[in-house]
Structure 1
């Protein structure tokens, strides 16, 4: 069978080479090839090269001559890296590298792939992505399922044309706040990671329609999450806070002198007090700290570093297709004082430590 497969491969290559500049497509799927054919350099007009389901461990240098190639499929081979030769494929639009042993990405490999719209790196051994991934400006589809990623670089969030992002079955613990920059993102898959908290920036993704975060360790969602214009939302397998109120004592508010002063200054700044607004410019460190102030979810007054973390339970939108048994969504909100806490609505609770 091996000999027969080799003969068929050779015949297909001979036929392709006879076509010369007229040959646009080569498909050598599952031919048990261990090497890429070096004769590829004689096919300068090639558009599609399908070499999936083989035993190829390295690409040949001649691959870099295929500057008209728009689709390259090297899925289910034995590659250990995303090779540097790919950067010369300046017309490439779709790149499939799934099911290899890829654990590294050659420096500069993304530089020449400015037309790439689809990248599939599923089922590899990547532990990280280089910052250079942000150079793939035209990318609309990125899938890195079943790898070993522990984080994603914030530069990935500069891919403003990205429509789908698949990061299932990795080891991610968090998502960067910069995800808010993916303004065109429509589908986000984060199944089976170790994510504890979703960033506030996620709530700014106005075009997001599908979010799947099943199988993480999320307990609570950022404020405003319920306003996302989703069509599908799946979160089974997360230890979400449940509405099981208990009664506890509420201590008096005792703030530090620093917090009292900060709240006083913040209120004056909101009133556009000329004296404070002019004076703060001479204290850059204080200005930088005050810039991190937040507002109470109830009274809307500012605070700096002391607050009550609470959970507000809201019903999911009727427009969402959701996980079974999801009746209430727990949202994280911050209150500035116990005084505000005593005036809260009936669906707002303090978070008890068990």
Structure 2
């Protein structure tokens, strides 16, 4: 049957735009595809193809390629010649290698589906897929994602469900057009503060991770859907605690003095610090106290504030309060806190 369909397609020559060989029990890609230079859509899903044939590099007008549910073990470099490709489906294979050179030619790619494979890493060259708007890598073995992925400025949907991720790059704030982020069933411990800069984010699903608290500004996201069941979120269960005295290191004391003087535009320090790049690097890591607004470096009190989820959010069942991470510079400020602000108990 597959041979008859190919012969029919070949008779069409350059006028053949679509070839569908779905579920034909094929064990290799037909090399005669090179005789169809005008091909736009090639559907070879649900076969037993273990390797992409070299002749695929001739299909420079191809816009959609579906090789889902085959036996591929890599995303081969030959695909970089598919310069017109917009949709690439490689789900349900055995892919464990992603050739970095692939990204060089796929400048028009809009959709990339790599679900249900064995991928453990993504090359940093993925940042070259400048047109990509949809990326799905569900059910793989990713332990991390490269920061370069966050430079896909047109990305609107990112799915990374069922991997082994423990963190998300802080550069996620560069994904300004991101509307949907799915991170279900990973090992993520915390979300970066940059997530709160995603003004277009509408759907966030982090169910089944190990997140306890959310970054400052999370409550201002304009979400429509938010799911977080299966995370050990902090609960509002106040207990009395022993109050301690503030004990700071000499570096902390010095850093606080310099940062706060710089905030007041001290001309002497502003000029002097330019001569000490190491000092500039240290104080660049400073944060501001949520109570007094003054800067601190590495010594702080981690607190939690609970806020009710927005009425505009479609949320997980039984989610009544969302814990928000708040940093305070001293016990003095802690004693001046709002009644709804709590220290985090170590149990």
Q: How far off its partner does 1:227 sit?
A: 0.3
Once the two structures are superposed, residues 298-343 of structure 1 have per-residue CA deviations (whole angstroms, 9 ceiling, x without a partner) of 1111111111011111111111111011111101110011111111
Matching residue of 1:224: 217
Aligned length: 347
What does residue range 254-269 of structure 1 map to in structure 2 within 5 Å?
254-269=247-262
* Structure 2 residue 183 is matched with structure 1 residue 190: yes
Q: How far off its partner does 1:92 sit?
A: 0.3
Matching residue of 1:338: 331
Matching residue of 1:298: 291
Q: How far off its partner does 1:216 sit?
A: 0.2
* Structure 2 residue 146 is matched with structure 1 residue 146: no
Q: How far off its partner does 1:128 sit?
A: 0.5
Structure 1: tracts of 5 or more residues without a match:
1-7
151, 157, 166: which is aligned to 2:159? 166
In structure 2, how many angstroms separate the alpha carbons of the residues matched to 1:152 and 1:295?
29
What does residue range 17-96 of structure 1 map to in structure 2 within 5 Å?
17-96=10-89
In structure 2, how many angstroms separate the alpha carbons of the residues matched to 1:213 and 1:124?
21
> What's the TM-score once normalised by structure 1's chain length?
0.97
3-state secondary structure, aligned to 1:312: strand
Q: How far off its partner does 1:256 sit?
A: 2.2
Structure 2: tracts of 5 or more residues without a match:
none
In structure 1, how many angstroms separate the alpha carbons of the residues matched to 2:272 and 2:29?
69
Matching residue of 2:117: 124
3-state secondary structure, aligned to 1:119: strand
In structure 1, how many angstroms separate the alpha carbons of the residues matched to 2:100 and 2:328?
47
In structure 2, how many angstroms separate the alpha carbons of the residues matched to 1:207 and 1:120?
22
In structure 1, how many angstroms separate the alpha carbons of the residues matched to 2:130 and 2:95?
23
What does residue range 174-213 of structure 1 map to in structure 2 within 5 Å?
174-213=167-206
In structure 2, how many angstroms separate the alpha carbons of the residues matched to 1:31 and 1:287?
64
